[in-house]
Structure 1
Amino acid sequence: MSAVPHPRHPSSRHRAPARGITMIGLLFWAALVSMAGIVTLRVLPTVNEYYTILGAVEKVSKTGGNTVPEIRAAFDRHKSIEYSISSVSGADLNITKNDERVVISFAYDKEVELFGPVYLLIKYRGSSR
């Protein structure tokens, strides 16, 4: 009598295809995650500067003064206190009045070097409310 393997015996099962990530897949995902990390680390300081400028513009629009030179001088004073503002000065501000309310707006471009000759251009715009 020949030995017939039992249907539940490991030698009688078909092997399931291997599951998981290959080495090439792992390298692809590692490169993708590291590139996203590099871009994030390079862009984060510019986003911080934008929100700092926006906060300064909000504060100056409420308490800066009534004339354009007073508002520009108030922003420059605020800029001298905030070390992270380097892209905008008081002369770069667009100051208007809207229904007896001072509206200050600004716009600037920031180039972020990623690696080698590759740059990322970000266009920031903002205004007081």
Structure 2
Amino acid sequence: MGLIVTGIVVAVLVVLAAEIVPSVSEYSSIQKAVKRAAQSGSNPTEIRNAFDRAKAADYFQAISGQDLKITKVGDRYVVEFAYDKEIHLVGPAYLVLKYRGRSE
């Protein structure tokens, strides 16, 4: 009986990991794209366009250039982003992952 319960717990964890790992990978791609865009653009429009080009190349869908918050700090631009990812578990239960990042 203990082996069956352990097997069920392990199976649930594997399925959950299969949902979370792609989301974390997407976040990593977005973070890299934000840093590249912040370094390559000289104004907010260029930064957004550079981010959208990276989005097309890296195949992520969570956010676009319009979702970026761009502020000027000193002589450079800081780019911030935030989004939530919901993963349906069972019935009314969801796992909510809150991603935040910035170009610094």
Structure 1: state its 5+ residue gaps.
1-23
**Are 1:98 and 2:73 an aligned pair?**
yes
TM score, norm. by length of structure 2: 0.92
Question: Where in structure 1 do 4 or more consecutive aligned residues deviate above 4 Å?
Answer: none
Structure having the larger proportion of residues in helix: 2
Aligned match for 1:47, one of 24, 48, 52: 24
Structure 2: state its 5+ residue gaps.
none
Higher relative contact order (CA 8 A, sep 6+): 2
Q: Residue 57 of structure 1 aligns with which residue?
A: 34
User: What is the 5 A alignment of 1:104-123?
Assistant: 104-123=79-98
Query: Whose Rg is larger?
Result: 1
Structure having the larger proportion of residues in strand: 2
Q: CA RMSD in A?
A: 1.2
Aligned match for 2:46, one of 50, 57, 70: 70
TM score, norm. by length of structure 1: 0.75
Identity of aligned pairs, percent? 43
